[in-house]
Structure formats: C-alpha cells, structure tokens
Amino acid sequence: MPQDAFDKVYEVAMKTPSVCSRQATRVYQITDPVTVKAALDIQVGFRGYAPPPVLLLVTSDIRACMNENERNKPFTDGGLFSMSLLYALEVYGLAACPLNVMFDLSRERRTRRLLDIPDNEFLIMYIAVGNFPGTVPVCRSDYFSL
C-alpha cells in the first residue's frame, strides 16, 4: 500500500474538529507483519482472518486536557478523529475495520511496551487496513425504531 495514500488520508482526518482545537489525537501506523500480529494477539478480537498489511492505532494525548472535568475529552476527540479516518480510508479506496482496545491493565501495558506508546496517551481504537477483495459479503443488522 502506497504511503502517499495514507498521507492523504491523514491530511483529511486532521481536519476533524477537536475540543478547543487542541488536536490531541495521534495515529501510529504499524506495517511490520510481526508487530501487527503481536498487537492483534494482545487485542484478541481479530480472529479467523489473516493479519492486515497495515494496523493503525489511534490515541489521544491526555496532556491536552485542562483538568479532571475533561476526562472524557480524549475519547470524544479520538472517536471523532477515528470516524474521519475511517471515511477517508474508504474515499481513498482502502478497506478498513475498526477494532476495540478495551483492555485490562495487563494487555494495555503489553500494548504500550510493544508499540512504545507513552502513558500520557489514551488508547482509542485500532483500525485494520487492507485492500478490498473482488466481492465482499455484507452483514445486515436491523436498526431499532425510535
């Protein structure tokens, strides 16, 4: 996958609004197959598929918060940024799948060690990135009526 496509995706996603325009969101692009597999082995939710050629980790830097009242800000900003990132990947023809990082403390520490993520960054989500196959079966879920 060409890096210039990812550079364009990041440029688009960086236009996402953030609380007080603090732009605390970070993206780690993991392309080493051994590291991708190790990260997904810790994540444990991506099973039954070949590892993706690229794994993105979205984080949010807590240092952009002013005080404890902004404790949810990293997740709000990180979620908005991740949504923009997912849309941009689609626009540039890359297949993407959001993956959770709802880790217990042990798995979070192992992930931080593996990927060299500082303690001041909250883990928001992984995004598996690859190419679309020729055909794709699509799941359909009925939405609840309001």
Q: What per-residue confidence (pLDDT) applies to 62?
A: 76
% of the chain residues with pLDDT over 90: 58
Per the structure block, which two tokens stand in for 25? 């969101």
Name the phi and psi angles at 59, rounded to 5.
Answer: -130, 170
| Cα–Cα distance for residue pair 45/42, rounded to 1 Å | 9
- Distance in Å from the first CA to the final CA of the chain: 42
The per-residue pLDDT for range 52-97, each reduced to its tens digit, is 999 999 998 877 666 776 677 778 888 889 999 999 999 999 999 9
Burial group, residue 62, by CB count within 10 angstroms (0-12, 13-18, 19+): middle
Q: Could you give the CA distance from residue 146 to residue 141 in angstroms, rounded to a whole number?
A: 16
pTM score, whole prediction: 0.87
